[in-house]
Structure 1
Amino acid sequence: MGAALPGFPEDFTSYEAALPSSAAVVSALLPEDDSKTLAQLHKIIGHRLLTARFQPIIQMHTGEILGYEGLIRGPSDSPLHSPVNLFKAASEHNLTVTVEHLCRRIVLEQFAALELPGKLFLNVSPESLLQRDVKHGETLDYIHDIGINPARVIIELTEYQPTHDYALLCEAVVHYRRMGFEIAIDDLGEGFSSLRLWSELKPEYVKIDMHFIQGIDNDPVKMQFVRSIQGIAEKSGTKVVAEGIETQAELIAIRDLGVACGQGYHIAKPHPNPARAVSAEVAKILSANSIYQRRPAGSFEQLATIEKILKTPPTINSSMLNNQVDDLFLRDPRLQIIPVVDDGIPVGLIHRYHMIDRFARPYQRELYGRKPCKVFMDPYPIIVDKNTSMQDVSHIIVEANPDHLINGIIITDQGRYLGLGTGPDLMREITQMQINAARYANPLTQLPGNVPINEHIDQLLQKRQTFCACYCDLDHFKPFNDVYGYRRGDDIIQMTSEVLKKHCDTQLDFIGHIGGDDFIILFQSADWEARCHGILNGFANAIQEFYSNEDRERGGYISEDRQGKKVFYPLISLSLGVVRSRLSQHYSHHQISIAASEAKKQAKKIHGNSLFVDRRMDDEPRVA
C-alpha cells in the first residue's frame, strides 16, 4: 500500500449520499443567495461537475513541450464556471480543501485519459498540502492505477494566503520528494512570501508572475527583474518558467534572456485536448535564436542609481562644537564635506570652505567656536534614497539650487543615513552614461550603434547561427548636403532607417546604424533577398520627395566640387552589398565587416539603386 499523502484527493464516492441532510441544515442558516451558491457547490462536488483544461509549458531553447499545467473549469452554465469564482465561493463556505482535492483528482484522471506527454503541473495550496485532519487516500496507489508515474507530477505551490509554518511545509515537501514528485513555486514576485519559499524549499521550478512578463519588451525594470531571477536560478539549479506570454515581442524577450521555459496565450491557450507541439509561428521564432536584447533609449540613465557614487566620509552629530569640527578639517586636508547625523538620521552638511570663511571673519571663532556646529551647517541639504536614478538626482539639484553640486548629496536607505555623493562624481557618471548610450544607440535614428552591432555579430557566430550581412550605403549623399543643407540630409537618414524597418522582420532581422549614411542589416529571414528588393523600391519612391520639381525632372542637380567646378550629380541612390556568414571563414565581427564592405563597394559600382550579393562560395557572384 502507498504512503498517505497530506492534502491529496480523498474518496468522494460517499459524498453525494451524505449531501441531503447536511445541505438542508446549513442552507437553513444562510441568506438565499449564499444558500444557492452553497447548493451549487455541493452539486458540483457530489456530481463531479468539473472539467480540466491543459496549457502547454515549453522549453524555450528547443520549442519542445515540457509538460502541461492542469487548470479547472466549473459547469459552463454556472456562475462558478470561472475558477476565480469557484474558489472564492469555496473559501466563503469553508470548502477550499475539499474543492481543491476534487480539482486535482479530475485533472489527474483527464491527464491520464488523454495520454498527454511530458510532466503535469498540479496546483496545490500550502494550506491544502499541510492538512492533517482529513481522510487521506492511498494516493500513490491511485496515481499508479491511472497510469501516471509520480516523477511526471510537479506539485505547483500556489499561495492564496500567507505561509507561516515554513518548517512544517519543508517537512511536507521532503515527504513528497521522497516519493518522486518535483516542486514548483507559482507567481514568483506576486505572492506573500514567494522569495522566502524559494529559499526554504529549493524547488525544481519557479514560475515568474505574469505581471513581470507582460510588456517586458518595453520595460527595462521588468527586464532587469527577470534577468536577476534568471541569474539566481542558474546558481541554484532551478528552472524558470515565464508565464503569461501574450505577444510575440514578449516571447522574443524571454527567449533572449535565456529563460528555460515559457507559458502563455501566445504559445497556446488552455484546452480540454491540447496540442502536442507548438505552432509553426512559435517554432520559427524560437529556432531563430536571436541574441540581441533591445536597449530602450535612456535605459542607461534610468537604471544607474545614486548608490553607485556613494562614499562614507566621517560623520558628526549636531552637538559637536565648531572648534572640534574645524580640527577635523585641519587634520585631513582632503576632507571637504562632513555630514551631520543624529541617531542615524541626516540633519545637515558642513562644508570646509564655508567654515573656513566664517572663522576667518573678525571675532567669529571667539563667538561661535564653543557653540554646537549646527549654527554653521546647511540644514537643507539634498537628501535622496539610494535607489534614485542619477538622472533624477540631477533634475532635483537643478530645480532646487545648483549650489548643491558643490555641497554634496546625502544618500539614505529607507530614511536612514547611508553615505554621501559629490557633485563632481555625479556629473562624471552622467557624462559617461551619455557616452555609453551614444555608443549603443545612434542619436539620430535611435537604431543600435557600433557596440551592439559588433556584439550581435559575434554572438550569432558563437551560436553558429547563419545570417546574411547587408551593408547599406547612400550614393551622392555628401553633395546633397551642400545644396539642400545638413538638416535636410538628416531627414534623408531618418527616412532611410524607416524604409529599412518597414521591409525587415524586426523579430528576426537586426538593423544597426553604423554612422552617417551607413547602415547594416543582419538578416535571418529566409526571404532576405526579396526584402532587399523591397528596400530598394521603397527608397527609390521615398527619395523623390526630397528634391525640387526641377531636379526631379532632370534626374539630378548641379553642385560645385572641391575645386570649385560645377558638377552634375544624380539623385541619391541606395547601394546594398550582401555577404553570407560562413562558419568555416568567419570567426568575428571584423571579418564580417570587411566582407560586407567589399560587397558594398561592388554594389556602388552599379548605377542607381543596386544590390550586389557575394556568392563566391555558392556560384559566381552576380548582381541584381
Structure 2
Amino acid sequence: MKPRDDDNEAAVLRAHLHDILARKQLSALFQPIVHMPTGEIIAYEGLIRGPSDSPLHSPINLFQAARANGLTVQVEHLCRKVVLERFAELQLPGKLFLNVSPECLLQRDARHGETLEVIHQIGINPERVIIELTENQPTYDYDLMREAVLHYRTMGFQIAIDDLGEGFSSLRLWSELRPEYVKIDMHFIQGINHDPVKLQFVRSIQEIAEKSNTRVIAEGIETQAELLVLRDVGVACGQGYHLGRPHPVPARAAPAEVVKALSRNGVAVYPQRRQDQHNASIHKLLQAVPAVPSSMNNNDVYEIFQQNPKLMIIPVVDDGQPQGLINRFDMIEHFARPYERELYGKKSCRQFMDRKPLIADRNTSLQELSRRMAEADAHHLFNGFMITEHGRYLGMGTGHDLMREITQMQIHAARYANPLTQLPGNVPITEHIDRLLESGTRFWVCYFDLDHFKPFNDVYGYRRGDDVIQLTGNILTAYCDPDRDFVGHIGGDDFMVLFQSEDWERRCQAVLDEFAHHVLNFYSNEDRERGGYISEDRQGKKVFYSLMSLSIGAIRVEPRQYYTHHQIATAAADSKKQAKKIHGNSLFLDRRAPAAAAASAPAAG
C-alpha cells in the first residue's frame, strides 16, 4: 500500500510542477546585502517562492521536485527570468545576486545564453548581475566549471560562491574559480560573538580573501553583536534577518539602528578561547630508550647500567608488550648486599623489576597523565612512564619532563586566561587595548584591586581567599555589557575592565555596592560586628585590619591621547594607588590623565 501512496504523492507534485512552469507561477523576494564600512545596501539576493497554496511553495520542495522529474534546468531558467524581471520592475539599486546551480551553469544547449538574453530584453547591465553558485551536489568537473565561468565573465557577469564552509567542495571551487565574492555559511556566523572557533574560521577566510582580492559576505546575521564582531574582523558585507528579511518589495536602506551601530566608533569584544590543555599529548615527551627482554639475566642488566652511567631506567619488554621497569639504584642496592649477586645474578631480570609501572598510550593528554602520576606512588615520579601505541612499547617519558611541560602550560595558559576565574589574562587585555587605541574611540580603563586581601588570606586561608576572588570576577562580569565592555583578570586580586559603556560610572558603583554586601558573608559574626580582625603585619606586630573593600582607579582615554598599552597600564596603576588612599570601597577618576599622557606622547617630526 505504501509504494502506491508514494506514487500518488509524486504524481501530485509532478502535476503541480508542470502547472507552475506552464503558468509561470513563481514570485520573487529580495534580501538586502549591506556594505559594512558604510551601512549602505549595495546589492540584493534574488530568492524564489512557489504559489502560496502549493506544496511547492518552499524553494527546497520546489527544487527537489524539479530534480526528481528531470526539470531542474527549466525551473532554474524560469526562476532567473522571474527574479530579473521583478528586480528591473522595482528599480532596485545596486547589484543583483542571481542563484545558479553548477549543474545548470554547465548546460551546453541552445539556452546557454538565455540569461543574457533576458537581461538585454529588460535593460539591466550584466555588470550589475552576480552569478551566485549554489551547491546542492558535488562538483567534480572543475575544468568544465572554469570554462563556463569564463564564458559568463566574458559576458560581463561576476561570480559568487554560496555557503562557504557548508558545501561539498566550496573551498576547492574558490581556488579553481577565483570568484569576486564568497558567502560564508550562516553556521559560522550565528553566535560568532560567543564562539572563538567560529571567529578564527571567519578570520582565516577573511585573510585568504584579502590575498585573493575576494569580497566576503557573512550570511545569517541575526544580532547586533554578531554584526559588530564581523565588522571588526574586516568582513566587507553582511546579509541576514538583522539587516533585512526577504521581501517582495524590500527596503532601499538598512535599518537605522544597523547604520548607527556600524558608524559608531569602538570595537566589539571578541570571544576568548579557553586554553584547552587536554589537546597536548604525552607523545611530545617520548624518548627512545632501548628495552631488554625479561629473559635477560640480572648480571647482563647490571652490565648495561655500568656501561651507561647516565642511564637511570631500563624498560623490560617481551614481543612489544611492556612488562616492567628496572631502576638503576634498586639494582645497585641489591647487588651491594652480601650474596645477592651470587644468588640472583643469573636469574631473570624480573627479580628486581617494578612489575606495575605507569603505562600510557601516546595520545594520553599531559593533564591526564599528570593526574595519574599524582595519585600513584612517589617512586613513579623518578622511574617515569612507558609510552605505548596500540599496546606496543614505543619509548619512555620522564616525570621531570612531564612536570616541566605541565608548568610551562600553566604559565602560558595564565597569560591568556586566569585559571581561577577563567577571565582573560594579560595577553588578551593588551590585545583589546591595542584594538581600542587603533579604533580611535573613547573608552575608560578601570583597575580594580582588593584592599586588605593578604591579611584576610592569612587569617581565613587561601581557599576562602580564592572564593573572594571568584566573587569579584563574577560581580564584574554581571555588571558589564558583554558586547562592549572587556573584563580581564590581571592576576591575584587585580582586575581590569575596559569600558565602552557611557554609563561606566554607574556600573562601577553597582559593583562596589554588590561587593560590599556579599563580602560580609566571608567573615565570622564577631569580625563583622567589630568591622575587622586582628592579624600580624610583616614585622610580626599585631594589627587591626578593616574588612575587605574594593578600590577602583579609573582613567578616561580620548582618541590619540595615548599611544601604547604601556602608557595606559601605567596611568591606570597610578589611578589605582590614589583610589587605595581612600578608606573603604572607592572609585577614583584620574582627571590629570590628559596632561600626563600628552607629556609622554611621542615627539612630532
TM-score between both structures, scaled by the size of structure 2: 0.76
Kept in 2: contact 1:163–1:193 (CA 8 A): yes
Query: Could you tell which deviates more after superposition, 603-612 or 445-454?
Result: 603-612
Kept in 1: contact 2:80–2:99 (CA 8 A): yes
Shift in Å, 1:217: 4.7
Using the alignment, how far apart are the partners of 1:394 and 1:260 within structure 2? 46
Shift in Å, 1:128: 0.5
Residues 410/172 of structure 1: CA separation in 2 closer, same or farther (3 Å cut): farther
Residues 455/219 of structure 1: CA separation in 2 closer, same or farther (3 Å cut): closer
Aligned to 2:14: 38
Q: 1:15-164 maps to which residues of 2 (within 5 A)? A: 31-136=7-112, 139-164=115-140
Shift in Å, 1:54: 2.3
Kept in 2: contact 1:384–1:393 (CA 8 A): no
Aligned to 1:376: none
1:52 alignment partner, SS class = strand
2:277 alignment partner, SS class = helix
Residues 151/228 of structure 1: CA separation in 2 closer, same or farther (3 Å cut): same
Aligned to 1:234: 210
1:135 alignment partner, SS class = helix
Q: 1:133-212 maps to which residues of 2 (within 5 A)? A: 133-136=109-112, 139-212=115-188
Shift in Å, 1:147: 4.3
Residues 431/483 of structure 1: CA separation in 2 closer, same or farther (3 Å cut): closer
Using the alignment, how far apart are the partners of 2:135 and 2:375 within structure 1? 45
Task: Work out whether 1:488 is the aligned partner of 2:464.
Answer: yes
Task: Work out whether 1:597 is the aligned partner of 2:591.
Answer: no
Residues 90/384 of structure 1: CA separation in 2 closer, same or farther (3 Å cut): farther
Kept in 2: contact 1:206–1:239 (CA 8 A): yes
**Aligned amino acid, residue 548 of structure 2:** I
Kept in 2: contact 1:285–1:508 (CA 8 A): no
Residue among 476, 484, 498 paired with 2:452 = 476
Residue among 404, 409, 431 paired with 1:433 = 409
Shift in Å, 1:583: 4.0
2:419 alignment partner, SS class = coil
Aligned to 1:269: 245
Residues 187/549 of structure 1: CA separation in 2 closer, same or farther (3 Å cut): same
Residues 131/124 of structure 1: CA separation in 2 closer, same or farther (3 Å cut): same
Query: Could you tell which deviates more after superposition, 250-259 or 37-46?
Result: 250-259
Shift in Å, 1:122: 1.5
Shift in Å, 1:428: 5.0
Kept in 1: contact 2:189–2:219 (CA 8 A): yes
2:45 alignment partner, SS class = strand
Kept in 2: contact 1:227–1:257 (CA 8 A): yes
Kept in 2: contact 1:255–1:289 (CA 8 A): no
Aligned to 1:579: 555
Using the alignment, how far apart are the partners of 1:397 and 1:250 within structure 2? 44
CA deviation string 1:470-509 (max 9, x = no partner): 1122233333334443333322222222221121111111
Residues 409/618 of structure 1: CA separation in 2 closer, same or farther (3 Å cut): closer
2:501 alignment partner, SS class = coil
Aligned to 1:528: 504
Aligned to 2:533: 558
Kept in 2: contact 1:503–1:531 (CA 8 A): yes
The alignment-based identity, stated in percent, is: 61
Shift in Å, 1:145: 4.4
Task: Work out whether 1:295 is the aligned partner of 2:277.
Answer: no
Query: Could you tell which deviates more after superposition, 572-581 or 93-102?
Result: 572-581
CA deviation string 1:541-566 (max 9, x = no partner): 33343344555455x12323525345
Kept in 2: contact 1:411–1:421 (CA 8 A): no
**Aligned amino acid, residue 91 of structure 2:** E
Residues 579/198 of structure 1: CA separation in 2 closer, same or farther (3 Å cut): same
Aligned to 1:514: 490
2:221 alignment partner, SS class = coil
Using the alignment, how far apart are the partners of 1:293 and 1:589 within structure 2? 18
Using the alignment, how far apart are the partners of 1:496 and 1:72 within structure 2? 53
Shift in Å, 1:397: 10
Shift in Å, 1:410: 7.3
Aligned to 1:567: 544
Residues 393/232 of structure 1: CA separation in 2 closer, same or farther (3 Å cut): farther
Shift in Å, 1:153: 1.7
Query: Could you tell which deviates more after superposition, 572-581 or 247-256?
Result: 247-256
Residues 48/393 of structure 1: CA separation in 2 closer, same or farther (3 Å cut): farther
Using the alignment, how far apart are the partners of 1:600 and 1:106 within structure 2? 66
CA RMSD, 1 decimal: 4.8
**Aligned amino acid, residue 272 of structure 2:** R
Residues 428/616 of structure 1: CA separation in 2 closer, same or farther (3 Å cut): closer
TM-score between both structures, scaled by the size of structure 1: 0.74
Query: What 5-or-longer segments of structure 2 have no aligned partner?
Result: 1-5, 291-306, 332-343, 348-358, 596-605
Shift in Å, 1:510: 0.7
Task: Work out whether 1:543 is the aligned partner of 2:519.
Answer: yes
Residues 72/410 of structure 1: CA separation in 2 closer, same or farther (3 Å cut): farther
Residues 60/449 of structure 1: CA separation in 2 closer, same or farther (3 Å cut): same
Shift in Å, 1:93: 1.3
Kept in 2: contact 1:183–1:205 (CA 8 A): yes
